Amino acid sequence: MSEIIHPSPDVDQALDGAETDPSLPKEQARERIAVLRTNLLKAQYAALKKADSALLIVVAGIDGVGKGGCIRLLNEWMDARHVSTLAFGPPGPQVAQMPALWRYWAAMPAKGQTGIVFGSWYHELFAELAEKKPDWGRVDHLAQRIREFEDLLTHNHVKVLKLWFHMSREGQAGRVQALLSNPDTAWQVAPMDLKVSKRFDRARRAGAVALTLTHAAHAPWVVIPSADDSLRSVHAGDAVLKALRSRPRPNRLPRTAVTPAVQPLRLDTLDYAAGMSKSDYEPLLAQWQGRLARAVRHKKFASKALILAFEGQDAAGKGGAIRRVTHALDPRQFRAIPISAPTDEELARPYLWRFWRHLPEPGRIAIFDRSWYGRVLVERVEGYASQAQWRRAYREINEFETQLIENGAIVLKFWLAITKEEQLQRFHDRQKSPFKTFKITPDDWRNRKQWDAYVDAANDMFAYTHTAMSPWHLVSANDKHHARIEVLKQIVLRLEAAINT
């Protein structure tokens, strides 16, 4: 089977250039490095001061060409206290059970900081491409995931620079032998470095195709000729300097726009008269809670994770519905995560970071009381997010949920819907009740004035994020009994279906 994807001429040319093993005279290098170091520090401190974006530098390339040395040099040239080396080996058991990008999210540097990523999110793509017969469908999927991730980063104040260290086959072999011949440097040679020469063509092709598939103006690949230490350092330093100085330059047009659902869910189509008497409710509650308790204790659930997101108007009864769910759960198994104002650590990172950090392991349950949909609800309505930001968020959120689901999570999203009249009634009731009056704040009255804007935002949200894999459940919640049973029922049916397949 012939290759489906060929390297672009530009990439080939850059790699060919690096394979001529160019060098830089020492004298010249010294001068350039002196200027470069000063400028790198200047640019780094300017970035720290502005603190409007982070920089991630992906370090990749042929093994045994001095990538590690270059990382050390960058740490030496820049103020190392604001540079973190984020190096990833094969995932351990705990990491392996999480979505592939989880560990990169966990290590995300704050605005103003620089992260040097070694063993990056390209790991799987490189490995697949280095196979004798790559699975081109998988290649396509992995490349697409990477493009989405880097799009998201550059749209969320994280600049991405990718360095490919390269040299000729003979140059690489010579370099490794020179290191080996000195007992004080031999430890720098990894077993993999010795095998490069034999597999050079395949590794080169893998790199060339990967670069072709993932090069972008906003997240560029730069090929670093690595045969000569000085030239390698100067080229890498130059690329980093350029990235530090650049303004974050997001890709303005998403490759494919998110298509709204053809028959969108809408809040005005719900039957708000749906209700249930207390005498019907109580036995049903016990039954559904019993089924839920059995489902999450089933041995097949141990390999799944359950993620629940609760949204809805103020006073729609989210807290009460959540308590009816948690009642049936072992407290060791679930975590309830209330989402309110972000902390400064959260504000310094891409919007979705604060949700990635709370993802449950398999066999566990995360219950979000308000969720990542805040971006397209409160942040849209209150103007905390720009129109460009919240419009993009539909796509980012769908991609986020897709990653969770592909990793075996079951995701349920509930909108608890009440009418404007019912809300008013509940606000008044809360003000009268001695232990509910605390639940009502000036914010609630302020939000109520924006009722229509929230309804519009919610309807748009359903249209853009109600997907086959991750549907919205709109729950008529004027009657609390009805709403609670409905929520429990949807969760149980999804869980039982997942367990019985």
Instruction: Catalog residues that contact a copy of itself under the rule CB under 8 A.
Output: 34, 37-38, 40-42, 44-45, 68, 71-72, 75-77, 79-82, 84-85, 87-89, 92-94, 118-119, 183-188, 283, 286-287, 289-290, 293-294, 297, 319, 322-323, 326-328, 330-333, 335-336, 338, 340, 343-345, 369, 434-435, 438-439
The residue among 122, 126, 131, 18 whose CA lies nearest residue 66 is: 18
CB of 155 to a copy of itself, least distance (A): 24
Nearer Cβ to a copy of itself (82/141): 82
Helices 318-326 and 278-296 sit at what angle, rounded to 10 degrees? 50
Nearer Cβ to a copy of itself (333/467): 333
What whole-number distance in Å separates Cα of residue 110 and Cα of residue 56? 10
Nearer Cβ to a copy of itself (258/306): 306
CB of 146 to a copy of itself, least distance (A): 21
Report the side by side order of strands in the sheet with 305-312: 334-338, 365-369, 305-312, 409-417, 472-476
Measure the N-to-C terminal CA separation of the chain; round to a whole number of Å: 35
* Single-letter code of the amino acid located at 32: R
Neighbours of 325 (CB within 10 A): 24
CB of 6 to a copy of itself, least distance (A): 33
Q: Is 114 left (phi over 0), alpha (psi -120 to 50) or beta?
A: beta
CB of 35 to a copy of itself, least distance (A): 8
Residue pair 469/405 in contact by the 8 Å Cβ criterion: yes
Nearer Cβ to a copy of itself (301/464): 301
Nearer Cβ to a copy of itself (299/435): 435
* Single-letter code of the amino acid located at 185: T
Residue pair 424/447 in contact by the 8 Å Cβ criterion: no
Nearer Cβ to a copy of itself (124/369): 369
- Residue located via tokens 């629940």: 308
Q: What is the 3-state secondary structure (H, E, C) of 299-323?
A: HHHHHCEEEEEEEECCCCCHHHHHH
The residue among 178, 226, 240, 164 whose CA lies nearest residue 23 is: 226
What whole-number distance in Å separates Cα of residue 437 and Cα of residue 435? 6
Nearer Cβ to a copy of itself (135/330): 330
CB of 449 to a copy of itself, least distance (A): 23
CB of 31 to a copy of itself, least distance (A): 12
Paired with 114 in beta bridges are 55, 83
CB of 156 to a copy of itself, least distance (A): 19
CB of 286 to a copy of itself, least distance (A): 4
- Most distant pair of Cα atoms in the chain: their distance: 90
Nearer Cβ to a copy of itself (216/293): 293
Nearer Cβ to a copy of itself (69/174): 69
Nearer Cβ to a copy of itself (111/395): 111
CB of 476 to a copy of itself, least distance (A): 23
> Taking the CA of residue 388 as centre, how many other CA atoms within 13 Å lie in the half-sphere pointing to its CB?
8
CB of 372 to a copy of itself, least distance (A): 17
Phi and psi at 440, nearest 5°, equal -115, 125
- Residue located via tokens 């290191």: 179
Nearer Cβ to a copy of itself (41/276): 41
CA angle 155, 407, 133 (to 5 degrees): 90
What whole-number distance in Å separates Cα of residue 160 and Cα of residue 207? 18
CB of 288 to a copy of itself, least distance (A): 10
What whole-number distance in Å separates Cα of residue 474 and Cα of residue 487? 9
Residue 168: strand, helix, or coil: coil
